[in-house]
């Protein structure tokens, strides 16, 4: 199992879980927030990632894995920004909405609730596992 866990957000009309699955892998680009960038830099190969649809849906829809550690974001010449490579692992059996996450006492201090605008955030292992449980999903 992964050593660290993360949550990444994407607007489904810009890059949906279904498109990610169709592509088979992607580099996670477009991050322009220093804290989110630092989170990308901390990601290691094999780390687990929750894929969250923001704005529309507001729900965890899938599980991904880090396959490549941070490198220069190819979409900008500005060397402050980085990307990581991700691959889809599996969809959630049931998506887990932000509302469900906010109502679960075991998730009261999860980053998604505390720093709701951050696009890339760490998730503690018990929170990662609880979200999978709520989604009726097992990694293996």
Q: How many angstroms separate the CA atoms of 92 and 61, rounded?
A: 5
pLDDT of residue 18: 97
Specify the pLDDT at position 140: 67
pLDDT at 1: 58
Long-range contacts, stretch 73-76, CB < 8 angstroms, 24+ apart = 73/29, 73/30, 73/31, 74/27, 74/29, 75/29, 75/30
**66-116: pLDDT as tens digits:** 999 999 999 999 999 999 999 999 999 999 999 999 999 999 999 999 888
The residue-averaged pLDDT of 9-15 equals: 95
Domains with residue ranges and CATH for the chain: 5-134 (3.10.590.10)
| pTM for the predicted model, two decimal places | 0.96
Show the tokens assigned to 99.
């509302």
- Here the tokens at position 22 are 């169709």
pLDDT single digits (tens) 19-51 = 999 999 999 998 999 999 999 999 999 999 999
Structure token pair of residue 9: 């957000």
Query: Among all chains, which residue has been given the structure tokens 């599996």?
Result: 90
């Amino acid at each position: 199992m992964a050593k660290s866990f993360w949550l990444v957000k994407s607007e489904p009309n810009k890059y949906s879980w279904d498109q990610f699955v169709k592509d088979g892998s992607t580099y996670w680009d477009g991050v322009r927030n220093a804290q989110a960038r630092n989170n990308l830099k901390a990601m290691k190969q094999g780390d687990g990632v929750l894929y969250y649809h923001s704005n529309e849906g507001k729900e965890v829809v899938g599980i991904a894995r880090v396959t490549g550690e941070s490198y220069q974001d190819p979409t900008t010449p500005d060397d402050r920004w980085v990307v990581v490579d991700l691959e889809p692992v599996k969809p959630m059996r049931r998506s887990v909405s932000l509302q469900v996450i906010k109502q679960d006492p075991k998730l009261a201090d999860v980053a998604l609730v505390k720093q709701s605008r951050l696009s890339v955030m760490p998730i503690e292992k018990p929170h990662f596992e609880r979200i999978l449980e709520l989604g009726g999903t097992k990694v293996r």
